[in-house]
Amino acid sequence: MKPSPVQQVQLCSYNDVRSALLEKREIAFLDVREEDPHAQSHPLFAANFPLSRVELEAYAKLPRRDVQIVTLDEGDCDLLDSDAMFAAQRLVSLGFTAVAVFEGGVRAWKAAGGELFRDVNVPSKSFGELVEAKKHTPSISAPEVKALIDQKADVVIVDARRFDEYNTMSIPTATSCPGAELVLRIAELAPRPETQVIVNCAGRTRSIIGTQSLINAGIPNKVSALRNGTIGWTLAGQALDRGETRKFKEVSEQTTVTASTRARAVADRAGVGRVAWAEAKTWAVQQTRTTYFFDIRTPEEYVLGHLPGFRSAPGGQLVQETEMMSPVRGARIVLVDTDGVRANMTASWLAQMAWEVYVLTDVSLDAFTETGAWVAAYPSMPVVKHIGVNDLAAGLAAKQFTVLDLSKHAQYVQGHIPGANYVLRSQFKQAVKRLPQAPGYVLVCPDGLLSCFAFAEIAAHLAVPVSVLSGGTQAWKAAGQLLEKGAAVLLSEPIDRYKRPYEGTDAPREAMQAYLDWEFGLVAQLGVDGTHHFEVV
């Protein structure tokens, strides 16, 4: 590393980052571009950490203040005016003490011979492809599965995605059973050993990991992945169901005991550690090591009662989106559940992905004292000028204000204050020239938090008064005010969300096939990159 023109921020090179990854030293390699440009091209372990949301995510995702952080952007502008430098300075202001900027951005990474990857959640997806290559995970084609359904064969199809994804589109007859639940629930979803079990997702990763989980756990049934998931089903010209609500059921005590024994054996083979609750509490101080604490149960169970300091991270999604939940590569992870199945199975995969992972032992249900959703830690709120719902409504009627909506594009489309202008905080400087003239501007977002953090920098670009709507769009709606739907006025391109070819029901066939072709090539890319340390057992 070398000094930068900005005090407290160093400059970092390709060799610096690569050495940290090869030596398994802790490093938070943060791609501060919005999600779409990130998905177009980025290094394998560059976690997406958009500049526009740094304050909302920093304390939750970077729990140790002295962890090595390296910010990355495209590398297409002057260093002092770059998003990577702005993000680094913002992180320093939040109390982080080891912050560096990757000099030259993604372009410099490529010029140095670094491998670049497309899409999102690439570490997990490439690992899934490696699992299939090493374990020869069995799969079955969409036409073959449809024939089994048509024949009313003895087959159970389980969908390993989140329930909302399953509800959007699903394989006919499939039941929702997210990945971490499979080993716990399968004995009662398919009680006959003769029943064939087929695991699907939208593409490949979660069906491969789900299928191999059941095989690793030694269930007696024949298990196969639906080859290429709902994408393969669609490309075969077969119709998907919409709006299905079939879910797994609760299981018996004996089923849980048997599944727990199986899962513990799998975790032990993978080298998963064990930690007592008393020792884990000392790790929460976040000294010398970054430690993430995750509750692997369903969100519904988590809300009813969880351990202090543990974040909800349903296991199947944690394996799928590891770098989004824990962007410090080389960190330590502690998992907990209440059955000894879900945490062990999830940990077995994280260990194979080269994480130092532990399952919490000796904790009683009495310790699950916190209720409700997980609440992230945020920096102190800056001083801003607020406006209430009634005053904003009156001002809009009198044409005194123009509303600038800093929400994610998907949130803006779902419902915004009538006439509000969508603008990305990270793109505000470019959007200024397109702003409609107004006597004053009001910043809104779903809950008002992002508006407060963005207030000072946005106000500095404007010559008229700026204020923040107290409570954001949620307060506007709660007061009985109307919301407008759709992409009404976009001052910024909606690049905060990468359009996944396996989501929704309107993806072009060409995009779906291209996505599958990309996944097939990930194992080769892993070999070229050489920094992953994945080891399939």
Looking at the DSSP bridge assignments, the partners of residue 176 are 159, 247
CATH topology of domain 126-251: Oxidized Rhodanese; domain 1 (3.40.250)
Which residue type does 399 have? K
| CB-CB contact of 186 with 214 (8 Å) | yes
**Beta strands 441-444 and 273-276: pairing type?**
unpaired
Give the chain's end-to-end CA distance (angstroms, integer): 36
CATH topology of domain 386-490: Oxidized Rhodanese; domain 1 (3.40.250)
CB within 8 Å of 146: residues ≥ 6 apart? 172, 233, 236, 238
Residue 331: other Cβ atoms inside 10 A: 22
Residue 458: other Cβ atoms inside 10 A: 20
pLDDT for 129 equals 97
Element (H, E) at 302: helix 299-304
- Sequential pLDDT tens for the chain (537 residues): 888 888 889 999 999 999 999 999 999 999 999 999 999 999 999 999 999 999 999 999 999 999 999 999 999 999 999 999 999 999 999 999 999 999 999 999 999 999 999 999 999 999 999 999 999 999 999 999 999 999 999 999 999 999 999 999 999 999 999 999 999 999 999 999 999 999 999 999 999 999 999 999 999 999 999 999 999 999 999 999 999 999 999 999 999 999 999 999 999 999 999 999 999 999 999 999 999 999 999 999 999 999 999 999 998 899 999 999 999 999 999 999 999 999 999 999 999 999 999 999 989 999 999 999 999 999 999 999 999 999 999 999 999 999 999 999 999 999 999 999 999 999 999 999 999 999 999 999 999 999 999 999 999 999 999 999 999 999 999 999 999 999 999 999 999 999 888 776 677 888 888 888 889 999 999 999 999 999 999
**Beta strands 386-387 and 9-12: pairing type?**
unpaired
| pTM (two decimals) | 0.95
CATH topology of domain 271-367: Oxidized Rhodanese; domain 1 (3.40.250)
CB within 8 Å of 250: residues ≥ 6 apart? none
Show contacts of 77-86: CB within 8 Å, 24+ apart: 79/4, 79/5, 79/11, 79/103, 80/5, 80/6, 83/32, 83/33, 83/51, 83/426, 84/32, 85/4, 85/6, 85/9, 86/32, 86/51
Give the integer Cα–Cα distance in Å for 444 and 479: 15
Which residue type does 228 have? N
Q: CATH 3.40.250.10 residue ranges in the chain?
A: 2-119, 126-251, 271-367, 386-490
Tokens at residue 235, please? 């490309």
Give the integer Cα–Cα distance in Å for 365 and 336: 11
CATH 2.60.120.10 fits 2-119, yes or no: no
Give the integer Cα–Cα distance in Å for 345 and 341: 6
pLDDT for 504 equals 67
Give the integer Cα–Cα distance in Å for 184 and 177: 10
Element (H, E) at 471: none
